[in-house]
Amino acid sequence: MSRQEYRAAFLNYCNNQNTAALAAYYDSHNNYVQQLTATNAMIDQYHKHTLPTILQELEEILTDVTTAVSEAIYQGGEIITDKCNNQLRRYESLCAQSRAVSSTADLAHLARTLLNTQPPMRTPKRAFMPPYPPEPDDPPLDVAAETMPPVLRGEMLLDRMDIREARLNYEQLRKDAQDLEMQIKQLQDSLDSLSRSQSRNLESNLYSKVNEIQEELSLKKYDYRATQLHLAAVRAQAISSLSI
């Protein structure tokens, strides 16, 4: 019963003072008091027992969850820390080894090793080998001594070549040498341009581009060195031709 009903019963008795109104007023009073007592008991129970229990349970849940999550994060952090420390030690060792690298010292060590194991090598050159005397495995020559051709040396013969032909040969060799020099200059310019482009890509961490340029650089360097060898051969032929 609500207080409004209880008050209505009281006002009804005030306006109609009879036994029935008085009994109704007493009943409403008792009902209201019982309801009020029950409500206060529930409030008291909630604040003294229910709410503390709920808060304790929430505390336990929060503690358990916090402990579990914290432990998981801690263990994960320890694992990552161990990995990072291992990587750090490896990279520190790698950096130390890299800083200790000395190409000059390595080359000096290689040179000392080669000198200790074998004598210095001379530049290998192919010697002129006359056609006579014959090699041990050659069949015997059935040629009379007076008809035997003269044994020549490793040089060109003026009396065996027309002067005009020798001049034309020299001019052609000189032109070939100029063409090769032009090719070498173009290849050198191309190598310089590729090297600059590779450096820019390396600074920008574009390693795929760096690898592509490195392949092209290797091919250009091969062409450059092969052309240098060709030029050396043509120059030697031109000098030999000029000495006639």
Give the pLDDT mean for 25-30: 77
Q: Which three-class secondary structure string do you get for 101-128?
A: CCHHHHHHHHHHHHHHHCCCCCCCCCCC
To 10 degrees, the CA torsion angle through 232, 233, 235, 237?
A: 160
> What residue type is 158 in one-letter code?
L
Rounded to 5°, angle at Cα 180 from 179 and 182: 65
Cis status, amide bond into 133, omega within 30 of 0:
yes
Where along the chain do its domains lie? Answer: 3-75, 158-244
110-140 tens-digit pLDDT: 777 766 666 655 666 666 555 556 666 766 6
Alpha carbons 11 and 3: distance in angstroms, whole number: 12
Alpha carbons 168 and 165: distance in angstroms, whole number: 5
Alpha carbons 158 and 152: distance in angstroms, whole number: 13
pLDDT of 47 strictly over 90? no
Question: Is 181 in contact with 231 (CB distance < 8 Å)?
Answer: yes
pLDDT of 28 strictly over 70? yes
Alpha carbons 151 and 128: distance in angstroms, whole number: 12
61-89 tens-digit pLDDT: 778 778 878 888 888 888 999 889 888 88
To 10 degrees, the CA torsion angle through 56, 62, 68, 73?
A: -150
140-187 tens-digit pLDDT: 656 566 555 555 555 665 555 567 777 787 888 889 899 999 999 999
- Asked whether the whole model's pTM tops 0.85, one would answer no
Q: Which of 235, 222, 241 is nearest to 161 (CA)?
A: 241
- What residues have CB less than 8 Å from 242, skipping those under 6 apart? 170
